């Protein structure tokens, strides 16, 4: 499952979406495998680089990655997150 979210000025809406996803999984007897869950952030802001709080789901820390691949597409699409 892939969730894409736009973070405008504050992270509250993004955190709410992730919380809603986790709650929906629990309500439908689905287990969200946090150990395989990755977070990739792309900051398009032209101002100073912002720092984002680490993400946790059900009190488990989610790993933040610099690049990720969508293997389910016809030809895998790769996104590399700029680190500067």
Cα dihedral 53→20→42→6 (10° resolution): -120
Asked if the structure places residue 41 within a domain, the reply is yes
Q: Are 81 and 41 in contact (CB under 8 A)?
A: yes
Mean pLDDT by 10 residues, the chain (84 residues): 62 83 92 86 69 83 79 55 53
Q: Are 55 and 38 in contact (CB under 8 A)?
A: no
Report yes or no on whether pTM surpasses 0.85: no
What is the residue range of 75's domain? Answer: 12-80
Q: Which two tokens stand for residue 42?
A: 């792309």
Count of domains observed in the chain: 1
Asked if the structure places residue 66 within a domain, the reply is yes
pLDDT of residue 12: 79
């Amino acid at each position: 499952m892939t969730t894409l979210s736009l973070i405008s000025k504050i992270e509250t809406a993004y955190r709410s979406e992730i919380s809603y996803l986790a709650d929906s999984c629990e309500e439908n007897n689905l287990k969200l495998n946090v150990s395989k869950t990755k977070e990739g952030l792309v900051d398009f802001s032209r101002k100073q680089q912002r720092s984002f709080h680490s993400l946790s789901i059900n009190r488990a820390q989610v790993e933040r990655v610099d690049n990720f691949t969508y293997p389910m597409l016809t030809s895998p699409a790769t996104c590399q997150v700029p680190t500067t």
